[in-house]
Amino acid sequence: MGKYGDKSVSMNIKGVRFRPWRKYAVIYRSVLMENLQYAANIAMGFFSYFVFIFIFIKLWGYMYRTPGELIAGYTKEQMIWYVMMTEMMFFGSNAASVAGEVARDIRSGNIAYLMNKPYHYTLYILSRYTGEWSIRLPMYALLAVVIGTVMVGPLPHFRLTAVPAMAVCVVLGLTIHAVFKLCISLFSFWIEDATPFQWLYDKLILVVGVMFPVEIFPKALQPLLKMTPIYTVCYGPAKLIVDFSPEKCLEILAAQILYLTVGCVLMSLIYRKGVRKLYVNGG
């Protein structure tokens, strides 16, 4: 298990420089190329995204009754753009399929084959996930910009110069999301099917982070919500896109790094404990 993959430092074997991270780059590139072949299939998923956005445009159109009205400090345009951005991350990352892959590997016993490869299984899954969203996310981002511009209007006070900082927050948010989903999937080592736990986690993210910004919840709940993964996975990146400020950006980045570190340690611990429980029949 992860005989070589765990080592993050470069090694020198008989004069040949060996970079352990290179194999993950190769996995990433192969998934990226594979997904490029199926870009048309990815585009067929646009329909679901459009349905969600259409519903929310209509819903917020109804809730905001007077022009210029503010709800929880957001204008109608900001609120709809917020939902579009969070949904873009949700649809563009497709973390559900990655989590499903892990659960299937464990249930089918395929993991016995994968964990003997010269890579760490969880990093292999994360590389595949990154390869997947590298194609999906830009496609959904483009769609979101087109729908938003046509149906809602341009985002007020959007700062083009802040796009790199926003992109870093989005990437970190997607990675944290995948790490937590992986942690839940790894529970399949103990219980046969961890999917119900995935539903609850997804619904928590969806209801509390994707559909509404944290400010819309009662004031007493807001500090609590900011301590959950929701703050780093979807609220933070989307908030920066609709209402950027350098201070907020630093605060969100710090929280994301902390969450990613804790998530990775947790994932590694669960995986180590889980593989000890693994019992695979021959075949």
Partner 1 sequence: MLTAAKNQLRVCLLSMKYNMMREMVNKVTFLTNVCFMVLNNASILVQWIILFRLREDVGGYTFREILFLWGLTAASFGLSHILFARAFSLSDLIIRGKLDSYLVQPKNVLVSVLTSSTDISAIGDFLYGVALVCACRPGVGGFFLFLLFTVTGTAIFTAFALLLGSLSFWFVRMDILQGQMVMGAVSFATYPDGIFEGISRFLLYFIVPVGMAVWYPVHVIVSFHAGMFFAVLGYACALSVTAVAVFYRGLKRYASGNLMEARM
Residues near partner 1 (CB under 8 A) are: 41, 44-45, 47-48, 51-52, 54-55, 58-59, 61-63, 71, 191-193, 195-197, 199-200, 203-204, 207-208, 211-212, 216-217
Please say which residue, 20 or 148, places its beta carbon nearer to partner 1: 148
The tokens of 45 are what? Answer: 């998923």
Residue 79 CB, nearest distance to partner 1 (Å)?
11
- Cβ atoms within 10 Å of 238's Cβ, excluding its own: 26
Residue that the structure tokens 């970190």 belong to: 172
Please say which residue, 16 or 44, places its beta carbon nearer to partner 1: 44
Residue 97 CB, nearest distance to partner 1 (Å)?
13
Please say which residue, 21 or 217, places its beta carbon nearer to partner 1: 217
Dihedral angle computed from the Cα positions of residues 212, 50, 184 and 251, in that order, rounded to the nearest 10 degrees:
-40
Q: Kindly give the pairing relationship between strand 11-13 and strand 16-18.
A: antiparallel
Residue 73 CB, nearest distance to partner 1 (Å)?
13
The full DSSP string for 102-131 is HHHHHHHTTHHHHTTSSS-HHHHHHHHHHH
Please say which residue, 23 or 76, places its beta carbon nearer to partner 1: 76
Give CA–CA dist 139/137, Å, rounded: 5
Could you tell me if 119 and 21 are in contact, meaning their C-beta atoms sit under 8 angstroms apart?
Answer: no
Please say which residue, 18 or 190, places its beta carbon nearer to partner 1: 190
Residue 102 CB, nearest distance to partner 1 (Å)?
17
Residue 44 CB, nearest distance to partner 1 (Å)?
5
